Each structure stands twice: as structure tokens, then as C-alpha cells.
Amino acid sequence: MRLTRRNTSPVDAASWLLAIIVLAVAIPANDKIGKNGVFFAAHGVSPLAWVVLLIVGLAVVWAVLAGLLTLIQRKASARAFDLTASILTALVALFFVGNALALAVFSGAPWAAIVVGAVVALAIVLAARQLRMGSVLLVFAGIAAAIPIVGSVLTGSQGEATTAFAFSAESSKPNVVWVISDELQYPLVFDQEGRARDEFPNLQALQQTSTTYTHAYTAANYTDTAVPAMLTGIADVSAQSPQRMQQVRSNIGIIPGFSSDYQIVTESPIYRYECDATECASVGAASESNPVVRYWNFAKDSAAIAGRTVLASPFSDIFPSLDGKWRDYWASGDEFGSESQGRPSTRS
């Protein structure tokens, strides 16, 4: 005997669908995004503004789903509404639950994730057909999704991985330029005495008034770990816990701590700072002055994080690699920032 649908509200049915998406996508993605203050800084976007943008985006998706189900309910039969809502719920639940299980439990047996995911999806469909509680579930899911980012606004996550500093009370502070050349073939640029060769007159001039380290040790063999480690004073990355290094990588070492007392201008492929005005003297001035472009790029990079975070292969392979980048994930290649492969360098 077929179980009659008791939840005939298209609004509540849409809330069930969106609650699944929020639980499976927004929460794990926001857990990654909300704890990375430099990710917001690199895009020139406030974490609080992103909460608002996320709410608006989810509201639009919910309105579209509710409108579609309402139209079907009014224009078609109750059976058609039941089938449409049930099939949509089953597909969404199977896809996202299956991906979550494949990542967390059945990483070596994707078929098991599909089977268990189908069972869970069936249970969700049965609950959604009988219980009018989608809106309540959506509210709680939304609150859980916003907690990591709201927490970063209240606690200031950019300072979590930094070291405590005792700054001098002196009003005059020196200007310091620390030049780190990544992937530089040392013998081609410097002679055996450590002097810059004649083919590099700008480096020669800089060397006259600076200190050159001819014997150096790198803490790691990958830039997004080595540079933050140097800026934090970590000489042996292998001696640090994975949690500690993840904090260091996500906060660029000591830079956020310095920024509270110094004006800092960072020029690096990790970021894309293309102005030298005082407004750029901070950890996070993005190059795009147009807010529409800035938020659009932020949304695209957030989608890349979400895809890589919540989806298992082969679906995650659709999204670009996040390794070694703070922004511009969709640029070709896996190099840093705006100077990825296929895009010409603007640096001299």
C-alpha cells in the first residue's frame, strides 16, 4: 500500500532540499573558509559580508526551488508534485550523502558509499514526505553553517597562528624590505662569492645596501609552507604538528601580528597587490576596486574550495587545485596567484 504524502507544502519541501545542501556543502566549506582569515584578506572581502552574501545566495536557491514546486502543485496533480519533490530530494540526498560517506568513511570502497547513501537518501525522502519540518531543519543548518565565519569575525582568526610580539614604544620604526626569491637558480644569478652577476644590475644595486645570505636553509620544499615557516621563525617543519603547520600556512606566519602595529605592503605572487597607495598598506587590500568583480572572484574561489572539500573523486576533479594558492584558483596551472601558467608575469 502506497504511503500517502502528508507534507504537501512546496515551501517546506524546498526547505528540506536546501537543508541537505547546507548540511553537506555549506558547513564543511565554511569550516575551511571561516578559519582562514587570509583568504578573506586576499580577496578584500569581510567575513561578515560573506555571511550576508551566503544567506542571500541560499535564499535565492530556496526561492527558485519553492517557486518551481509551487508551480507544479498548482498546475499539475498531487501525484506529480509528490513525484517531483520526492525525486529531487532523493537525487540531492544521494549525491551529497554519498560524497560525504566516500570522503569520511568509505574512501577505499566508493561502491559502499553509494549503497549506504541510497539507504540514507530513502530515509530522508520518507521523512520529507511525512514530516513538515524542513523549515526548522533549514534554520538550524543555516546557524551551524554560519558559526565558523561569525566566530572568525568575533575572535579575529588572523591572529591565531601568530607569535606574541613585544613591540617597542618608539615612534620611529624602520622601513624593512625582505626579498625572497622563489625557485631562483642561484649559480645563474650569483657568483661563487655571493655577488650578483653583471647581467643583473638591479640586484647588484640592491645588494650594495642590503644583506645577502649566501648560506641558507629552507624549512620546507614547497613555497606555501616554507615562506610562512620562515616568517614565523620555524626552522624544522617536521618537528611541528600538522595542526600547527596548517595554522601557520593559513595565516602567512607573523604578518597578521605585525600588521596590528606596522603598515605592511605585501608584493608576492601569493597575492596580487598592484597599487602602492597608503590604502594598500594592510594585510588584505585586493587589486579589484570594483566590488562586483571582487565578490564574483571571491564567490568563484569559494566554489572551488567547496568542490574540493565536500566532493569525492571524480566530482572533485572538476574543480581546480587549491595547492599553493590563496586566490585565483580558476587560473590555468598550479602556480601561485595571478602568475599561474599561461598568464604572463607583470613583474620586472
**Sole residue written with cell 583568504:** 39
**Cβ burial 85-104 (10 Å sphere, 16+ → b, else e):** bbebbbebbbbbbbbbbbbe
**Alpha-carbon radius of gyration of the chain:** 25
Q: How many CB atoms lie within 10 A of CB 218?
A: 14
Output the 3-class SS for 96-136: HHHHHHHHHCCCCCHHHHHHHHHHHHHHHHHHHHHCCCHHH
What would the pLDDT profile of 181-192 be if each residue is shown by its tens digit? 666 667 788 888
Per-residue pLDDT, averaged over 194-201, amounts to 87
What would the pLDDT profile of 11-34 be if each residue is shown by its tens digit? 999 999 999 888 888 888 877 777
Per-residue pLDDT, averaged over 298-326, amounts to 81
Q: Rounded distance, CA 162 to CA 243, Å?
A: 14
> 240 falls in which pLDDT band (50, 70, 90)?
confident
| Mean pLDDT taken over the chain | 74
Per-residue pLDDT, averaged over 248-261, amounts to 64
Q: 277 pairs with which residues across the strands?
A: none
What would the pLDDT profile of 36-81 be if each residue is shown by its tens digit? 666 776 677 777 777 777 788 888 999 999 999 999 989 888 889 9
pLDDT of residue 15: 92
Q: Rounded distance, CA 38 to CA 41, Å?
A: 5
Domain ranges of the chain: 10-157
Measured CA distances, 83 to 129, 150, 204 (Å): 10, 38, 74
